[in-house]
Amino acid sequence: MFGSVAGRSVLVTGGTKGIGKGIARVFARSGANVVVAGRDAATGTACAAELTALGGGTVLFVAADVATRAGCTAAVAGTVAAFGGLDVLCANAGIFPQAALQDLTDADLDTVLDTNVKGTVLAVQAALDPLTASGRGRVVLTSSITGPITGFPGWSHYGASKAAQLGFMRTAAIELAPRGITVNAVLPGNIATEGLADLGPEYRATMEASIPMKRLGDVDDIGYAALFFATDQAAYVTGQALVVDGGQVLPESPAALTGA
Ligand code: NAP
């Protein structure tokens, strides 16, 4: 009974790989026209061609670094120029390099916070006018369970950045409600992406063992959660965080998993 998003204009930052590509694929298959934004042009161009070939909406690549205001402005302008407006912003671009707290450098902090926090705020700011003009503007943030709910050694800066997105979301949701714009977040657990593969097979195996469903999530699992927030039926949902993690945050102890 959910309404269609066919014909809507969607921008997915970090849409060229991983979770963002899954979000873009779900929207494109639903008939939406999608811009995927990222820094690497070869990856982005190939992604756009692959997703367009699925036969749903059109998918285009726009080169943009979300850590800069110019990059976010270019991504939004490219979407509006291509599709005549912007209805949905999926602020998904993010990085998760690991560094122990005692070793964190200024550069480590700046890189993660600039991409994950500043990049989120700048993208939403750049999208404000076209989302308002849409009359049914939607912002969907990709946060994480790491930070808002859980912790993991090496990710103190990353966890801080993902929790900061939710702090931003709650006030943005209030400020943008009079414009008819909703602002929500998906909190993925461990999802099989190129970025997660870089963490190695041992990390993956440890995570699979700690998930009640005993498998990593698929990028499309996050795409469908983002799609829900974009439907007309979710118009009254704002400022909310939806965990999509196969139950990973639920066990009170390792024994809770072995007893299942
Ligand atoms: P990924 O496979 O490494 O993909 C990251 C995407 O973001 C790529 O398209 C990348 O393209 C883009 N990107 C990175 N920095 C950017 C920048 N400065 N400007 C524009 N684009 C940029 O990562 P992922 O695993 O899909 O993660 C995506 C999001 O999900 C992140 O916000 C992450 O925190 C969140 N998340 C992931 C997981 C997981 O299990 N994978 C779990 C929880 C949350 P370029 O490198 O070409 O720019």
Query: What parts of the chain have a pLDDT lower than 70?
Result: 259-260
In short, whether 223's Cβ falls inside 6 Å of ligand 1 is no
Please report the pLDDT score of residue 166 as a whole number: 99
For residue 225, which amino acid is it? A
Cβ count near 106 (within 10 Å): 7
Paired tokens of 214: 């005993």
The rounded Å distance from CA 11 to ligand 1 centre is: 14
Tell me: the pLDDT tens digits for 40-87?
A: 999 999 999 999 999 999 999 999 999 999 999 999 999 999 999 999
What angle is formed at CA 118 by the lines to CA 113 and CA 119, rounded to 5 degrees? 105
Instruction: State the closest ligand 1 atom to the C-alpha of 44, by its place in the atom list counted from 1.
Output: 47
Distance of CA 255 to the CA centre of its chain: 32
Measured in Å, how far apart are the chain's first and last C-alpha atoms?
Answer: 34
Contact at 8 Å (CB) between 221 and 21?
A: no
Please report the pLDDT score of residue 73 as a whole number: 98
In short, whether 92's Cβ falls inside 6 Å of ligand 1 is yes
- The set of catalytic residues is 158
Q: Strand 182-188 relative to strand 59-63: parallel, antiparallel, unpaired? A: unpaired
d(CA 259, CA 88): 42
Contact at 8 Å (CB) between 139 and 184?
A: yes
Please report the pLDDT score of residue 29 as a whole number: 97
Pocket test for ligand 1, best of 166, 193, 194, 215 (most atoms within 8 A of CB): 193
In short, whether 198's Cβ falls inside 6 Å of ligand 1 is no
Instruction: State the closest ligand 1 atom to the C-alpha of 194, by its place in the atom list counted from 1.
Output: 2
Paired tokens of 93: 């671009």
The rounded Å distance from CA 93 to ligand 1 centre is: 5
Please report the pLDDT score of residue 54 as a whole number: 95
Domain boundaries defined on the chain: 9-246
d(CA 71, CA 156): 27
In short, whether 115's Cβ falls inside 6 Å of ligand 1 is yes
Q: Atom 9, ligand 1: which residue's CA is nearest?
A: 14
Contact at 8 Å (CB) between 219 and 163?
A: no
Please report the pLDDT score of residue 1 as a whole number: 85
In short, whether 19's Cβ falls inside 6 Å of ligand 1 is yes
Please report the pLDDT score of residue 88 as a whole number: 99
Residue owning tokens 């195996």? 205
| Domain covering 9-246 assigned CATH 3.40.50.2300 in the classification | no
